[in-house]
Amino acid sequence: MQRIKTIKDMRALSRGLMSEKKSIGFVPTMGALHEGHLSLVRRSKEENDITVVSIFVNPIQFGLKEDFNKYPRDIDGDLKKLSSLNVDFVFIPEIRKMYPDGFSININIGGIGDIFCGAVRLGHFNGVATVVAKLFNIVMPHRVYFGQKDFQQTVIIKKLVRELNFDIDIIVCPTVREADGLAMSSRNSYLSPTERKSASILYRALKHGEGLILQGKQDASYVKTEIEKILNSEPLISIEYIGIVKPQRLESVEIIDSPVVICLAVRIGTTRLIDNLPVSP
C-alpha cells in the first residue's frame, strides 16, 4: 500500500493508471475508519483494478459550531486497516493544499441541500459537493463508493455527477450495523456508555416503521407518528426530523405506494446521529 500526500502525486498516479487502462475504484473518507468504510473498500477491490482511499476531514462541510476540531482522527489505525485489506493507494492531502489562500469556489447544489440534514447543517452539502468534485478531478476514478447510511449525501452526489456530467459511476453500499442495529458511524465514539445503549432505539424505530409499511399501512404521517412515539420513549433522545421520502429526489410522500426511504436524525446529548432504511411496500 502506497501513501500519497500531494495532489500532484495523486494526479500523476491517476494519469498513469488511466494510460495503462486500469479501472480505478475510489472510496473518499474522513478517516476514523469502521466496518462501514471497510465494506466500501472491499466492494471497490472486487470491482476495480486499483482502489484508492482518501482520508480528508473536509473543513468546509462543517458549520462553525460543529465538531470539526473534535472529529475523531486515527491515521495510524486507519492505515493499518487499509493495509490489511491490500488497498493500493491512500491519498491524504493537506488542508492548505486543498484550500489554498484565496479559495472561494463553492458548488451550490440547490434546495435538496437545504432540507433534512441540510436544514440544520447550513452549507454542509455544498461543502460536501465541492470537496467531492475536487477529489473526483484529482483521483479520476471510474467508480466511487458511498454508504447508504449517509442517504441524503448519496442522493446529492448522484445529482452532482449527473448535473455536472462527471464520467463516474456512484455505487451506494448497504449500511453496516452493530449487533444491536446501530448504524456504524465515526461519531458513535462520542457516545457515553448510557447514550450508546439508548442509541439502539434508532434502528428499532426504523424497523417498526418498515413493519407498518410492509403490513400495508400507506399513510406516511401515521407511520411517522408511530416512529416518533418509539423514539420519544427513550428520554435521552431528542428528534430532529423523521422523513419518509422518494429514494431519487428526497421528496416527502403522503401515501406510501412505491419504494421509500425512512430517514431520521436525532440528538443524544450533544451527539447528532442519523440513520435510514429503504422500504418497498
Catalytic residues: 37
Q: How far apart are CA 250 and CA 227, in angstroms?
A: 19
Closest approach, Cβ 56 to a copy of itself, in A, equals 13
Binding to a copy of itself by residue 109, rule CB under 8 A? yes
Q: What is the x/- site pattern for a copy of itself, positions 237-256, by CB under 8 A?
A: ------------x-------
User: Looking only at Cα atoms, what is the longest distance across the chain?
Assistant: 58
Q: How far apart are CA 223 and CA 65, in angstroms?
A: 33
Q: Are 109 and 73 in contact (CB under 8 A)?
A: no
Question: Applying CB under 8 A, which of residues 2, 5, 15, 194 lies at the interface with a copy of itself?
Answer: 15
| Binding span for a copy of itself by CB under 8 A among 36-44, 49-57, 71-79, 158-166 | 158-166
Closest approach, Cβ 80 to a copy of itself, in A, equals 29
C-alpha cell at 100: 489554498
CB atoms < 10 A from the CB of 1, how many? Answer: 15
Binding to a copy of itself by residue 16, rule CB under 8 A? no
Query: Distance between the two ends of the chain, CA-based, in angstroms?
Result: 44
Closest approach, Cβ 109 to a copy of itself, in A, equals 5
* CB nearer a copy of itself, residue 115 or residue 236: 115
Binding to a copy of itself by residue 64, rule CB under 8 A? no
Question: Applying CB under 8 A, which of residues 20, 64, 96, 104 lies at the interface with a copy of itself?
Answer: 104
Nearest to 3 by CA among 77, 79, 76: 79
Closest approach, Cβ 99 to a copy of itself, in A, equals 8
Nearby residues of 55 by Cβ (< 8 Å), 6 or more positions away: 29, 30, 31, 75, 78, 90, 91, 92
Question: Applying CB under 8 A, which of residues 94, 163, 219, 254 lies at the interface with a copy of itself?
Answer: 163
Nearest to 56 by CA among 127, 156, 131: 131
Total residues interacting with a copy of itself, rule: CB under 8 A: 32
Nearby residues of 173 by Cβ (< 8 Å), 6 or more positions away: 39, 40, 43, 145, 146, 147, 148
| Binding span for a copy of itself by CB under 8 A among 35-43, 97-105, 173-181, 262-270 | 97-105
Nearby residues of 175 by Cβ (< 8 Å), 6 or more positions away: 36, 147, 148, 149, 183, 184, 275, 276
Binding to a copy of itself by residue 107, rule CB under 8 A? yes
| Binding span for a copy of itself by CB under 8 A among 14-22, 27-35, 72-80, 206-214 | 14-22
Looking at residues 110 to 149 of the shown chain, list those that interact with a copy of itself (rule: CB under 8 A). Answer: 110-112, 129-130, 133-134, 137-138, 140
Question: Applying CB under 8 A, which of residues 164, 233, 238, 259 lies at the interface with a copy of itself?
Answer: 164
For residue 103, the Cα-to-chain-centroid distance in whole angstroms is 25
* CB nearer a copy of itself, residue 25 or residue 209: 25
Nearest to 253 by CA among 223, 215, 212: 223
Question: Applying CB under 8 A, which of residues 89, 166, 190, 203 lies at the interface with a copy of itself?
Answer: 166
Q: Which residues bind a copy of itself (CB under 8 A)?
A: 7, 11, 15, 18-19, 21, 102-112, 129-130, 133-134, 137-138, 140, 159-160, 163-167, 249
